[in-house]
Amino acid sequence: MVDRTLNAEGLLCPLPVLRARKALAEMEAGAVLEVRATDPGARKDFEAFAEAAGHDLLRSDEADGVLIFHLRKASPPSSAPRISP
Look up 52 and say whether it is catalytic: no
Taking the C-alpha atoms of residue 35 and residue 84, their distance in angstroms, rounded to an integer, is: 42
In 3D space, the residue among 42, 33, 35 whose CA is nearest the CA of residue 12 turns out to be: 42
Residue 49 sits at φ, ψ, to 5 deg, of -60, -50
The single residue of 4, 9, 11, 13 carrying the catalytic annotation is: 13
| Residues assigned a catalytic role | 13
